[in-house]
Amino acid sequence: MVRLHVNVDHVATVRQARRERFPCPVEWALACESAGADGITCHVRKDRRHMQDADLRELRRRIRTLLNLECSLDDEMVALALESGAEAFCLVPETRQEVTTEGGLDVRGERTRLARVIPQLAERGGLVSLFIDADLEQLAAAADSGAPFVELHTGRYANTRGDERQRELERLQRAASFARSRGLRVNAGHGLDYDNVAPIARLEGVEELNIGFAMVARAVFVGVDAAVVQMREAIEAALRPQRSSGATK
């Protein structure tokens, strides 16, 4: 079964819009756990635009599932990650101008910093993942980096339609297969929603999906429990045996 990890950042985005104490991303995470989420993901950015340091500490103290912390290679953020107690770390690129993470990590260009950071995080007992595009050269560099996981960036797939989306899906299929052939374990995420998640859930070898904004948006209308249950149902339906064999659609 593909694991569902819920990203709680956008609950904090709503809170920070008014600098209020609510809605609380930690309480939202606990509700997601109760509804069946397999883990919680968050990203404390250097500009603290949504999740705050105190949120991270409270998440670690209160949630019972796996905590996955998205983290840039900035020294300050790596130090925060090392003290966080998270069980998993996803290393991501980060710029102040972007609305959300816009592309994968340049693993080839970041070899030096990754060679220092990956062992530090692993020594704290964390599973390390690299958030990268479905690029075979970057995946080869990831395999050489010592990180056990990659998280395939599905944003281009999510933002296209028709034949272009099918081409992006095929690119992700090749990337997942190549990654596994090089000994990497594979997760996926970014831009996934209730309508586009099924083909990604069916990618052979994908272990975990990280989904946030679409679930926060759905919860506005149906509540947290239903948003989680409906996403789990979409993933489970995608994994049921198909009536006819053939390529992933």
Neighbouring residues of 149: CB distance < 8 A, sequence distance ≥ 6 = 90, 127, 128, 129, 130, 184, 185, 186, 187
Q: What is the CATH number of the domain that holds 134?
A: 3.20.20.70
Does a structural domain hold residue 61? Answer: yes
* 249 lies in some domain: no
In a domain? residue 203: yes
Cα-flanking dihedrals φ and ψ of residue 96, to 5°?
Answer: -70, -25
167-212 tens-digit pLDDT: 999 999 999 999 999 999 999 999 999 999 999 999 999 999 999 9
190 is known as an active-site residue: yes
| Residue length of the chain | 249
Domain residues for the domain of 230 are 3-239
Residue 246 domain flag: no
Helix (H, G, I), strand (E, B) or coil at 9: helix
35-76 pLDDT, tens per residue? 999 999 999 999 999 999 999 999 999 999 999 999 999 999
**Catalytic-residue membership of 50:** no
CA 2 – CA 238 distance, rounded (Å): 10
Active site residue 87: no
Token pair 């670690």: residue: 60
Catalytic residue selected from 10, 43, 50, 153: 43
Is residue 244 in a domain?
A: no
The pLDDT, as a whole number, for residue 95 is 65
Q: Rounded to a whole number, what is the largest CA-CA distance in the chain?
A: 52
Annotated catalytic residue, options 70, 94, 151, 208 = 70
How many domains are contained in the chain? 1
